[in-house]
Amino acid sequence: MNISKYFSKFEKLVTSKFNKLSLIIVSLCLLFSFSFAIFVVNTDNYKAAEMYIGNLIYTLNMRVIENGNAVNGNVVTIPDEYTYTVMVDIGSLNPVRTKYKLQYDTDCTECQIFISDVTGWNPSGSINASGTEIDSKTVKVIIINTSGSSADVEFRVTGGYNYHGVEGVALAEGFSNDFKYNYVDSNSNRTITELVKADTECTPTEDMPCYYGGEEQRNYITNNEKIYRILGVYLINGVEYVKIIQEDNESTSSYSGLNEALLNYNNSLPNNKLEYLTGEVQIISANDYVQIGAYDSYLNDGEEMLTNTTSESNVFYVTTSGELKLKAQTEVSNIRPVLILKSDARIRNTGDGSSNNPYIIQDSTSDIIVTELKVDGAHVQDTPKSGLYSFKPNCTNGTATWSDKQYLLEFSITNSTMSCVIEFESRDFKLNTKVNGVSAPIPTTGNYSMDYDCSMGNITLVWDNTNHEISISNIESPVLCEVEFTSI
Give the 3-state secondary structure percentages of the chain, helix then strand then coil, rounded to 5.
15, 45, 40
Torsion sign (Cα): 399, 404, 406, 407:
positive
DSSP-assigned states of every residue in 381-415: SS--SSS-EEEEEEEESEEEEEETTTTEEEEEESS
Angle at 375 between CA 369 and CA 380, to 5 degrees: 55
- Angstrom distance (rounded) from CA 209 to CA 211: 6
- Angstrom distance (rounded) from CA 276 to CA 360: 12
- Angstrom distance (rounded) from CA 292 to CA 211: 7
Task: Give the N- to C-terminal CA distance of the chain in Å, as an integer.
Answer: 92
Task: Tell me which DSSP letter residue 475 carries.
Answer: -
Question: Any idea of the CA torsion for 344, 375, 391, 201, to the nearest 10 degrees?
Answer: 50
Quick check: 108 and 145 in contact, CB under 8 A? Answer: yes
Torsion sign (Cα): 400, 401, 402, 405:
negative
> Cβ-count burial of 382 within 10 angstroms (0-12 exposed, 13-18 middle, 19+ buried)?
exposed
Closest to 223 (Cα-Cα) out of 94, 144, 339: 339
Closest to 232 (Cα-Cα) out of 208, 258, 265: 208
Task: Output the 3-class SS for 179-190.
Answer: CEEEECCCCCCC
Rg (CA), the chain: 30
Element (H, E) at 375: strand 367-375
Element (H, E) at 321: none
Any bridge partners for residue 262, and if so which? Answer: none
Angle at 173 between CA 170 and CA 177, to 5 degrees: 55
Which residues neighbour 168 within 8 Å (Cβ) at sequence distance 6 or greater? 46, 47, 99, 160
- Angstrom distance (rounded) from CA 399 to CA 401: 7
Any bridge partners for residue 346, and if so which? Answer: 191
Query: What string of pLDDT tens digits covers the 488 residues of the chain?
Result: 444 444 344 344 444 554 555 555 545 444 443 332 222 222 333 333 333 334 788 999 999 988 878 899 999 999 988 889 898 999 999 988 888 999 999 999 999 898 876 666 888 888 888 887 667 888 889 898 988 899 999 999 998 886 666 777 888 999 999 887 654 444 445 688 888 887 777 889 998 999 988 776 788 998 878 899 999 999 999 999 999 999 999 989 999 999 999 999 988 876 545 567 887 899 999 999 988 888 888 999 999 999 999 999 999 999 999 999 999 999 999 999 999 998 888 887 567 788 888 888 876 545 566 778 888 787 776 777 777 777 889 888 888 888 765 667 777 766 666 778 888 887 766 778 899 988 888 888 899 999 998 866 677 888 988 888 887 777 666 667 889 999 99
